């Protein structure tokens, strides 16, 4: 029978300092040269990572009770509104929410970056006043050490794959895919390719609910399937999807995270977003898993869409490999288009290396998923009904 490994076996090796860990880039030539069986003998864990703009991110906070207490109905942090329709002093701050005083240059992501850097932010809240919560307003400064709970809960991160964006129109477009020059002047993409977590586990076999991960440089967990999780996307023969597919909802304590791996961003004429760094370990349990992490940029594809067409279904213009995207030029309809990334390969490598070192040093144990991510049909559109 072919060799297999268990989570327990790998964790024992981590504890006894005998584990072998390599990054998802380093494993590729090993699998190609030595084959999956030999690699499975040698290597226990592969680390994957990504560092890209992830709009669907945000922070839960509990401020603690003032004296006299207040049941906050509206909350602002550095003038950025946070959602307070929860218990008295709970709030959720979305990364893309904009400041009411500074507008499009400062938002929830900036507040998150300030907090993680150890800075205090101005909390302002108002309330209607009740018998048990008489206070009607409060204004004070809060930092990480003042809050009871302060954890990221990002409803959609770590997209399994994403679009390549081009612009067929004759004007420059400012999008969440960056600045798109007119008449196919450039193409932008946003995936770590062969280093990306879900491209290394295309069928969600080892990354599932409860998987311990590195989130923003601290420890976090996969909490749920991400919003718009779409396992039904068309796939290549090697199992990887050809366009946006699976996603993860992730959670982790902001204390313990680092500014290096959480950075606020402003996309010109579009809005604010948060660059989030995520690292996910993949235990090599069997040869099939080894084969999947051995897939390289030459074998991973992304679909090119025309962002000049502002519709839900943008026209697909072709399919390219990540190797082509990284080369700096792609060829679409006999046109050579220069490419540029939006997600940082440099940072993704740093995260994959940091996770590798934590595992080697026995500071990061692996977890088996508590439940698997669902594998069901696609994403529903929003239909407009008039009643």
> Least distance from C-beta 179 to another protein, angstroms?
4
Residues recognised as catalytic: 132
Q: What is the DSSP letter of 328?
A: T
Between 345 and 365, whose beta carbon lies closer to another protein? 345
> Least distance from C-beta 181 to another protein, angstroms?
6
Binding site residues, another protein, CB under 8 A = 51-53, 105, 174, 178-181, 185-186, 188, 263-269, 273, 275, 326, 328, 338, 340-347, 349
Instruction: Tell me the CA distances in angstroms from 84 to 76, 89, 133, one per residue in order.
Output: 9, 8, 15
Between 174 and 375, whose beta carbon lies closer to another protein? 174
User: Cis peptide leading into 68, omega within 30 of 0?
Assistant: yes
> Least distance from C-beta 262 to another protein, angstroms?
11
Between 205 and 260, whose beta carbon lies closer to another protein? 260
Q: What's phi and psi for 322, nearest 5 deg?
A: -65, -25
Could you tell me if 68 and 289 are in contact, meaning their C-beta atoms sit under 8 angstroms apart? no
Residue 386: partners with Cβ closer than 8 Å, 6 or more residues away: none
> Least distance from C-beta 265 to another protein, angstroms?
4
DSSP string computed for 88-120: TTEEEEETTPEETTTEEEEEHHHHHHHHHTT--
Could you tell me if 226 and 249 are in contact, meaning their C-beta atoms sit under 8 angstroms apart? yes
Between 38 and 181, whose beta carbon lies closer to another protein? 181
DSSP string computed for 18-45: ---EEETTTHHHHHHHH-HHHHHHH--E
> Least distance from C-beta 94 to another protein, angstroms?
17
Between 91 and 98, whose beta carbon lies closer to another protein? 98
Residue 181: partners with Cβ closer than 8 Å, 6 or more residues away: 167, 172
């Amino acid at each position: 029978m072919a060799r297999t490994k268990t989570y327990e076996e790998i964790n024992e090796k981590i504890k006894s300092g005998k584990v072998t860990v390599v990054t998802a880039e380093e494993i590729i030539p090993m699998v190609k040269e030595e084959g999956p069986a030999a690699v499975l003998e040698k290597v226990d864990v592969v680390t994957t990572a990504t560092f890209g703009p992830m709009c669907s991110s945000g922070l839960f906070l509990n401020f603690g009770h003032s004296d006299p207490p207040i049941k906050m109905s509206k909350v602002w942090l550095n003038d950025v509104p946070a959602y307070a329709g929860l218990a008295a002093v709970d709030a959720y701050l979305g990364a893309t929410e904009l400041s009411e005083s500074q507008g499009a240059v400062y938002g929830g992501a900036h507040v998150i970056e300030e907090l993680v850097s150890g800075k205090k932010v101005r909390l302002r809240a108002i309330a209607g006043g009740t018998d048990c919560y008489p206070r009607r307003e409060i204004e004070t400064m809060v930092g990480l050490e003042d809050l009871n709970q302060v954890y990221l809960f990002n409803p959609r991160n770590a997209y399994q794959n994403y679009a390549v964006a081009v612009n067929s129109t004759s004007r420059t477009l400012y999008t969440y895919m960056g600045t798109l020059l007119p008449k196919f002047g450039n193409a932008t993409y946003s995936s770590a390719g062969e280093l990306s977590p879900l491209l290394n586990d295309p069928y969600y076999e080892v990354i599932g609910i409860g998987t311990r991960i590195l989130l923003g440089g601290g420890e976090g967990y996969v909490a749920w399937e991400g919003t718009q999780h779409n396992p039904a996307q068309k796939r290549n023969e090697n199992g990887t999807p050809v366009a946006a597919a699976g996603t993860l909802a992730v959670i982790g304590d902001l204390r313990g995270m680092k500014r290096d791996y959480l950075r606020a961003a402003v996309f010109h004429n579009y809005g604010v977003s948060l660059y989030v760094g995520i690292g996910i370990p993949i235990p090599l349990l069997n040869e099939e898993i080894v084969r999947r992490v051995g897939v390289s940029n030459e074998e991973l594809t992304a679909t090119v869409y025309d962002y000049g067409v502002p519709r839900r279904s943008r026209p697909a213009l072709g399919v390219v490999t990540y190797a082509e995207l990284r080369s700096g030029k792609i060829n679409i309809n006999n046109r050579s288009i220069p490419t540029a990334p939006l997600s940082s390969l440099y940072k993704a490598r740093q995260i994959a290396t940091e996770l590798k070192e934590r595992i080697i040093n026995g500071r990061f144990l692996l977890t088996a998923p508590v439940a698997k991510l669902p594998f069901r049909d696609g994403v529903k559109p929003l239909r407009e009904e008039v009643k």
